[in-house]
Chains A and B, each alone.
Chain A
């Protein structure tokens, strides 16, 4: 088992755990946590491929992760703001009660 594949395995495991959190919990904050985990799994992939891939001197993976972290920070801020806003209106953070967009 090469270091790269073990990294990828870790990444996929992390992703699956995050995905499980998204699918199996009802609290919006926990879902957000799951999403963060999935995002980190992706970041790990970038780093792993930068480290073990070809042309690491181009720093593409690193740069991508830097921007990804930036976007993730923005996303976390907006997502949490939304949760607060929804909570203020509906007095709940349970995601299955936020179904007013039902078809």
Chain B
């Protein structure tokens, strides 16, 4: 029951995020969708992921998008694509969703009893990160550093070389 509510909240937020005309409203709706998703994670027993979702997406990514919106002046022409392109897009989206939904619906592997709630304590996650996934952790750290530097380099004002 709770799952249905959160799921509905998430989908509603997502739909609002992509369909609203005002970009700031879109971002606010996106935050709603992220929050709903975080709740779904909590329901599924992944507390760490839920909080990480809140921290990273709601706290960082959404704020980043807001800054971007503020930095790029709206030229007022945003909005939907041309009618033909919009129709085509909708068609493709429906096809994709239909395919996925049909695949999920017709899958037989999903029809078994749910297992008991698994344990995913912070200690277990920490141990796994530091032992089994030590190398990927280092790599992701490197990636984040590179992304930080890259993003800063790209977004920095270029020196006024040309007149």
A contact set with B: CB distance below 8 Å: 2-10, 12-21, 23-27, 29-30, 32-34, 36-37, 40, 43-44, 47-48, 50-52, 54, 56-57, 59, 62-63, 65-67, 69-78, 80-85, 87-88, 91-94, 96
3 nearest CB pairs, A to B: A21-B18, A23-B89, A56-B118
Distance in angstroms between the alpha carbons of A43 and B50 in the assembled complex: 11
A72 / chain B contacts, CB cutoff of 8 Å:
56, 61
Distance in angstroms between the alpha carbons of A87 and B57 in the assembled complex: 24
B contact set with A: CB distance below 8 Å: 3, 7, 10-11, 14-15, 17-19, 23, 26-27, 30, 33-34, 37, 40-41, 44-46, 48-49, 52-53, 56-57, 60-61, 64-65, 67-69, 71-72, 75, 77-81, 85-86, 88-90, 92-94, 96-97, 100-101, 104-105, 107, 110-112, 114-115, 118-120, 124-125, 128-129, 132-133, 136, 140, 143-144, 146-148, 150-152, 154-155, 157
**Do the beta carbons of B49 and A47 come within 8 Å of each other?**
yes
Q: What are 10 A-B residue pairs whose CB atoms fall within 8 Å in the complex?
A: A16-B94, A23-B92, A24-B85, A44-B41, A48-B44, A51-B46, A59-B124, A84-B72, A84-B154, A91-B75
